[in-house]
Amino acid sequence: MTPPGKKSRGNRSAAEADWQTNPEACVIEKMTVTSRSKLALHLSKGGGCAIQLIPK
């Protein structure tokens, strides 16, 4: 994940994503995360969530 002392930008998937009816739903929620960040994520039906961490 994000190493201690470093920051990343996070993007997460939409809560409305559904593998059968809405597989491409996406919300770009930009946030700064650190190694101490806690993220509440919605687990979509059929598989979970997606998050992208991009080092700053």
Contact 17, 25 (CB under 8 A): yes
pLDDT for 52 equals 79
pLDDT for 46 equals 66
- In angstroms, how far is CA 38 from the centroid of its own chain? 11
For the chain, the domains span 1-42
pLDDT tens for each residue of the chain, 56 residues long: 678 888 887 766 667 777 788 777 777 777 888 889 888 877 777 666 777 788 88
pTM comes to 0.51
pLDDT for 47 equals 65
Contact 27, 17 (CB under 8 A): no
pLDDT for 42 equals 72
pLDDT for 1 equals 67
